[in-house]
Structure 1
Amino acid sequence: MSGTIVIKIGTSSLTQPATGNLALSTIAGLVEVTSKLRHKGYSVILVSSGAVGVGCGRLHLAERPTELAMKQAVAAVGQGRLMRIYDDMFTTLQQPIAQVLLTRFDLVERSRYMNVFRTFEALLNLNVVPIVNENDTVAVHELKFGDNDTLSARVASLVDADWLFLMTDVDQLYSADPRSNPAAYAIDRVENIDQLTADVASAGTQWGTGGMLTKIEAAKIATAAGVRTVIANGRNATNILDVIAGTGISTVFEPQPRPFNARQRWLAHGLVPAGQLYLDDGAVRAVRDRGKSLLPAGIVEIDGEFESQAAVKLCDRQGAEIARGLVNYSSADLQQILGQKTDAIPGILGYAGTETIVHRDNLVLSSTA
């Protein structure tokens, strides 16, 4: 196989701005390019927005609903129509597809994460193109990815993809919004995303939820997992082939090395931290430089309320994240034992808990550590 490509297409590319109706020519172009990639030996996953936007068009709504139940109802209307269009177009090219609807919880809980991974693996082995969307009809706020840029980045990390294409309504990332600032210039390549300086305050269209800021955040997730990430114009799907060949117009974010196995990728990108632990300098060096577990004596402060086995960020005194992992104590218990020696835990809590607060097997260093 040539590798795995995740393509995220946004509502702004899939629909007509004025009406929210589907832009059928854009979808046809995307389907054709996806099929060409399959024939070249690539595995392809398509993360498609548009269910709410299409539902709005189908129901003749003038604007995207904001109330959760209404949004879920509109998504249910739009998702079926969107998948029917995809299925009809892919069928003409003899390319089977599958619908995969996810919530954040599917990637947070370990067993569900592995189930999703195995499902993708099986579909790709069957030469199927999975079409992924957030399960808007059931997801509540706490379980939502928030936008499909983030969803696509987490899927790319999950399947250890080689490429993530974030298809949007501009050709490239610009230093400022080119629609309002004539002095804006295009950024072709980003070697270090943490040093990127660009105006990314645009909030997306009335039919979508994303914007350039969400794409930058998605690129951070994907590149940290070793996935080369591209921002390109979604109205010109053939540009994907050009970018892979090294000639297309786009902004390419270079990936970081791939130090992660599947479990480490889950720890780094599948979990939603419920709190933060602030460490003293000695604990920072032990965790970051010597690969040690976190002990209670090294914790100086706790932020957030969480239960045992929740995900937490491990930060230095200044708040810079150095790692994240699964904590062995609740925040209430940690407040009692932070800064204490390990052998003092039973006397303080009244039970003999584990010696480590976060075991080294359950933590992963952050990309900036």
Structure 2
Amino acid sequence: MQKKKRILLKIGSNTLTKETDNISRGKIEDMASQIAKLQDTCEFIIVSSGAIAVAKQFVKLESKQEEVFVKQALASIGQPHLIRIYQEIFREYGLLSSQCLLSYSDFEKEESRANIMNTIKVLVNNNYIPIINENDTVATDEIKFGDNDKLAALTASLLDVELFIIATNTNGIYTKASINNDAPKTIEEVTDFDTLHSQVVNSKSSHGSGGMQSKVEAASVTKKANIETWIVNGLEDNFIVNAMDNKVSFTKIK
């Protein structure tokens, strides 16, 4: 049998909601359709944000606690709904999926790292697509800082994937000068990683806690593991296949 290319796809809240206040079932259908088309040659692991965004659609929590604890509670409410949406839509495309909740401490202990690798290996070998999120009810790192960017990079490195795709709401990373001139121009290929930081304009998305800075930091993690990173516009339909066919502008970090 031909060895499949292992891809880790990270999709943030802003992309999953298509920059609205609701999770877009159409966007999840778009992902499922592409994965189904590519399943003979590629195997996917997904790191997905969106639990808090799902909960906000139908819950308003009143609390005198700090905002981060309210977000943890919202994540606890939203996560089962998020996974249910994934499972319903993926099943329509003949795809099997599973849920994995991880936190940073899992990557610090050798035994936990081995458990993650072995569990995901079994899932992928049996044609299940792991859908990973931070265990937000016990950890707050990604709620505060990165919208799962760093978590995805650590997971990609641990699982030795061949390609790390970050789906965001821009056509990759733009040059700073082009942003200042209101004519965004994509940096299509990065060969000198050190100069990339000077190009990044840090702004955060409406739902996510990340921004382009956290994506560049995530790419620095996967670069150390010798994994190629693509930053693509996940708001567009068919964004994975179009990037593979070089039909769209996106940033490729070798």
Name the residue aligned to 1:25: 26
Deviation of 1:142 after TM superposition, in Å, equals: 10
CA distance in 2, matches of 1:142, 1:32: 28
The one-letter code matched in structure 2 to 1:71 is: K
User: Corresponding residue for 2:4?
Assistant: 2
Whole-Å separation in 2 of the counterparts to 1:25 and 1:146? 25
Does the Cα contact within 8 Å between 1:7 and 1:44 map onto a contact in 2? yes
- Alpha-carbon offset, residue 105 of structure 1: 0.8
Aligned residues: 250
How far apart, in 2, do the equivalents of 1:82 and 1:225 lie? 30
Match of 2:155 in 1: 155
CA distance in 2, matches of 1:15, 1:246: 25
Bigger share in helix: 2
**1:11 counterpart = 2:13:** yes
Q: 1:158 to 1:177 in 2, by over 3 A?
A: farther
| Contact 2:71/2:143 (8 A) holds in 1 | no
Q: Which residue identity does 1:7 align to in structure 2?
A: L
Q: How does 1:110-149 map to 2 (within 5 A)?
A: 110-141=110-141, 146-149=146-149
5+ long unaligned stretches in structure 2? none
Q: 1:198 to 1:23 in 2, by over 3 A?
A: farther
1:2, distance to aligned residue in structure 2 (A): 2.6
Q: Secondary structure at the match of 2:213?
A: helix
Equivalent-residue separation in structure 2 for 1:30 and 1:76 (angstroms): 24
User: 1:102-141 CA deviation, whole Å, 9 max, x = no partner?
Assistant: 0001111111011101111111111111001001012155
For residues 94 and 166 of structure 1, the distance between their equivalents in structure 2, rounded to whole angstroms, comes to: 24
- The offset of 1:237, in angstroms, is 4.8
Structure 1 alignment gaps of length 5 or more? 255-369
Q: Spell out, residue by residue over 1:334-368, the C-alpha distance to the aligned partner (whole angstroms, 9 max, x if none).
A: xxxxxxxxxxxxxxxxxxxxxxxxxxxxxxxxxxx
Cα offset, 1:236, TM superposition: 2.1
- Report the Cα distance in structure 1 between the residues aligned to 2:123 and 2:114, rounded to whole angstroms: 14
The one-letter amino acid paired with 2:38 is L
Question: Which TM-score applies when normalising by structure 2?
Answer: 0.90
What does residue range 352-363 of structure 1 map to in structure 2 within 5 Å?
none
CA contact (8 A) 2:146 2:211 kept: no
| C-alpha displacement of 1:143 | 11
Structure-1 residue corresponding to 2:48: 48
Q: How far 1:178 sits from its partner (Å)?
A: 6.3
Shift of 1:67: 2.1
1:344-359 equivalence runs, <5 A: none
Contact 2:106–2:112 (CA<8 Å) still a contact in 1?
Answer: yes
1:158: Cα distance to partner? 0.8
Match of 1:270 in 2: none
Stretch of structure 1 that moved more, 146-155 or 243-252: 243-252
Q: Shift of residue 54 of structure 1? A: 1.5
How well do the aligned residues superpose, as a CA RMSD in angstroms? Answer: 2.5
* Aligned position for 1:213: 213
SS at match of 1:58: coil
- Tell me the residue number matched to 1:291: none
CA distance in 1, matches of 2:125, 2:197: 40
3-state SS of 2:249 partner: coil
Higher relative contact order structure (alpha carbons within 8 Å, sequence separation ≥ 6):
2
- Alignment-derived partner of residue 223 in structure 2: 223
Could you say if the C-alpha distance between residues 142 and 86 of structure 1 is closer, same or farther in structure 2, counting changes exceeding 3 Å?
closer
C-alpha distance in 2 between matches for 1:237 and 1:3 = 22
Change (3 A) 1:55 1:110: same
Q: Which protein is bigger by CA-based radius of gyration?
A: 1
Cα 1:81–1:180 change in 2 (3 A) is farther
**TM-score normalised by length of structure 1:** 0.63
Q: What pairs up with 1:1-369 in 2 under 5 angstroms?
A: 1-18=3-20, 20-38=21-39, 40-60=40-60, 67-141=67-141, 146-176=146-176, 181-196=181-196, 198-254=198-254
- Cα deviation for residue 146 of structure 1 reads 4.4
